[in-house]
Amino acid sequence: MAVKPSIPKGTRDFNPQEVSRRHYIMNVLRTAFEGYGFQPIETPSFENIETLTGKYGEEGDRLIFKILKSGDFLAKLPQEIRNSDSPNKWALEIADKALRYDLTVPFARFVVQHRNELAFPFKRYQMQPVWRADRPQKGRFREFWQCDADVVGSDSLWQEVEFVQLYDRAFTQLGLNVTIHLNNRKVLAGIAEVIGASDKLVDFTVALDKLDKIGAEKVVAEMVERGIPEEGTQKVLPLLSMDDSNEAVLDFLTDFLKDSEMGMKGLEELRFVLDKVDALGLKTASIKVDLTLARGLDYYTGAILEVKANDVQLGSIGGGGRYDDLTGIFGLKDLSGMGVSFGLDRIYLCLEELNLFPDSSESKPSILFFNMGEAEMLTSQKWATALREKGIAAECYPDNTKFKKQFDYADKKGFAHVAIIGESEMNDGIAKVKDQSTGEQEALTLDQLIQLLSK
């Protein structure tokens, strides 16, 4: 008995309706990106392994899908590696490529390789799939699409302001009510300094980033496990539950960070972004200073953003931040950048749950010509060609079979109209056209049919 085929966990097939809806989201995002001057690029689905490893922190490196070397790589494996039970040592010897984990690091590599061809500041957007060896769950997949926008070559804080506006514009168009959570890595560095954990910033942010998943007590416990002084973690506790107005949070930080130069610099940047966004205004989104937002990626150095839908319990649907020297890891120093990502798959789930997809987002075929015989089909094909030249989708049923089978096909595919051209219709230069939604039928010439469907 044949084994029923399956797909790997954390991946999905998409039917025509789903693909059309995903294209709708991407078209909205594409319009928003290009409205702010971003240009499209694409990069390979896999990179050299050294391009990706060491860029996402300890947690991220574990989730990179590695690709085995070609050929008989085991024959060349040193004996000491064979005897080792360390997965990391094995990985470096048997894998030389990896599926991309995100679009930002490949973008940094792209900028360095093509720097002589680009005009800086360089603004790009990119919509492609990425892969992470994570545990699949609702809204979290091993293969998923990211829709990113980045700008490199400018350290102006106006970039942060524009990205907040970009989020607001895109999600307003999609009909989603969202909150944009805002923090700054310099503020987090200042907090770490105040609690005596300056040398443990990565450990501090990795633990903090798990707050939504494990709660405040376990976050504090993990900080202690990572070597952060217990006395210092007690100072952090008020920050983990702070839910005041933005101004109240900034006032608290002004006192908390008064002895940290780095922290006060981050606070200054936060105020700039909030003041300018307030002056410009947002259409539907709200913005919230969130001191527990850490985004556990090592390359962020300034502002960090995360977007959450207000009406769906699904975690973040977008995020990003400032990175001052991401291209430096590839040899191009002092090129500051800022970027954000839209989570296509989670946005889809939100729109689906809230029934926000417009009818126009689904690609429905316009008209099906029935097959009444060889000569009649030749005429139908000519009519279909004429319709397509006018931008109207038209299809001809390939087989001369029973009406019921052809009607069933029309119903399943959702055709708005069906057309029948038999011998008498062919001789009279007309087609019998039925409106599938009303059941009404009329005889139309080709010009009349074009006029009807063009509406």
pLDDT of residue 90: 61
Q: Are 205 and 294 in contact (CB under 8 A)?
A: yes
Note the CATH number of domain 364-454: 3.40.50.800
Burial of 10 (0-12, 13-18, 19+ CB in 10 A): middle
User: For the chain, what percentages of helix, strand and coil (3-state, to nearest 5) are there?
Assistant: 45, 20, 35
Q: Which residue has the higher pLDDT, 60 or 354?
A: 354
Q: Which residue has the higher pLDDT, 300 or 352?
A: 352
pLDDT of residue 208: 78
Q: What is the mean pLDDT of residues 222-251?
A: 81
Q: Taking the domains of the chain in order of start, what are their residue ranges?
A: 16-353, 364-454
pLDDT of residue 84: 61
- Please determine, for residue 211, whether its predicted confidence score (pLDDT) is greater than 70: yes
CA-atom Rg of the chain in angstroms: 28
- Please determine, for residue 173, whether its predicted confidence score (pLDDT) is greater than 90: yes
pLDDT of residue 312: 93
Is 300 annotated to bind a ligand? Reply is yes
pLDDT of residue 298: 65
pLDDT, tens only, 53-95: 888 877 788 899 998 877 666 656 666 665 566 555 566 667 8
Cα–Cα distance, 93 to 39 (Å, whole number): 38
**Sign of the dihedral defined by the CA atoms of residues 56, 58, 63, 65, in that order:** positive
Q: What is the mean pLDDT of residues 190-202?
A: 83
pLDDT of residue 350: 95
Q: What is the mean pLDDT of residues 22-35?
A: 97
Q: What is the mean pLDDT of residues 170-183?
A: 97
The total of other beta-carbon atoms located within 10 Å of residue 250's CB is 16
Token duo for residue 193: 């300094």
Q: What is the mean pLDDT of residues 370-393?
A: 96
pLDDT of residue 87: 56
Q: Which residue has the higher pLDDT, 209 or 283?
A: 283
CA distances from 84 to 27, 70, 80, 91 (A): 50, 22, 6, 11
- Please determine, for residue 131, whether its predicted confidence score (pLDDT) is greater than 60: yes
pLDDT of residue 201: 77
Token duo for residue 1: 């008995």
Is 150 annotated to bind a ligand? Reply is yes
What is the pLDDT confidence band of residue 357, given thresholds at 50, 70 and 90?
Answer: very high
pLDDT of residue 91: 64
Please name the residue that has the structure tokens 């952090």: 236
Distance of CA 45 to the CA centre of its chain: 15
Token duo for residue 3: 């084994």
Helix (H, G, I), strand (E, B) or coil at 229: coil
Q: What is the mean pLDDT of residues 6-34?
A: 95
- Asked which of 88-92, 111-115, 252-256 is least confident by mean pLDDT, the reply is 88-92
Is 146 annotated to bind a ligand? Reply is yes
Is 226 annotated to bind a ligand? Reply is no
Q: For all residues of the chain together, what is the average pLDDT? A: 89
pLDDT of residue 177: 97
Is 295 annotated to bind a ligand? Reply is yes
What is the pLDDT confidence band of residue 218, given thresholds at 50, 70 and 90?
Answer: confident
**Sign of the dihedral defined by the CA atoms of residues 354, 359, 360, 362, in that order:** positive
Query: Which string of b and e fits 429-444 if b means at least 16 CB within 10 Å?
Result: ebbbbbebeeeeeeeb
pLDDT of residue 157: 96
- Asked which of 65-69, 204-208, 364-368 is least confident by mean pLDDT, the reply is 204-208
Nearest CA to 183 among 246, 233, 123?
246
Which of 43-52, 91-100, 197-206 has the highest mean predicted lDDT (pLDDT)?
43-52
Q: Are 222 and 215 in contact (CB under 8 A)?
A: no
Cα–Cα distance, 392 to 385 (Å, whole number): 9
Q: Among residues of the chain, what percentage have pLDDT more than 70? A: 93
Cα–Cα distance, 10 to 18 (Å, whole number): 17
- Asked which of 2-6, 242-246, 365-369, 444-448 is least confident by mean pLDDT, the reply is 242-246
pLDDT, tens only, 310-334: 999 888 999 999 988 778 888 888 8
Token duo for residue 120: 């800086």
Cα–Cα distance, 41 to 170 (Å, whole number): 20
**What's 330-366 look like in SS3?**
HCCCCCCEEEEEEEHHHHHHHHHHCCCCCHHHCCCCC
Helices (H), 63-157: 79-82, 87-94, 104-113
Is 104 annotated to bind a ligand? Reply is yes
Q: What are the residues whose beta carbons fall under 8 Å from the beta carbon of 284, sequence distance 6 or more?
A: 168, 171, 172, 177, 178
pLDDT of residue 1: 64
In this prediction the pTM is: 0.84
pLDDT of residue 394: 95
Is 251 annotated to bind a ligand? Reply is no
The CATH superfamily holding the domain 16-353 is: Bira Bifunctional Protein; Domain 2 (3.30.930.10)
Query: Which string of b and e fits 320-341 if b means at least 16 CB within 10 Å?
Result: bbbbbebbebbebeebbbbbbb
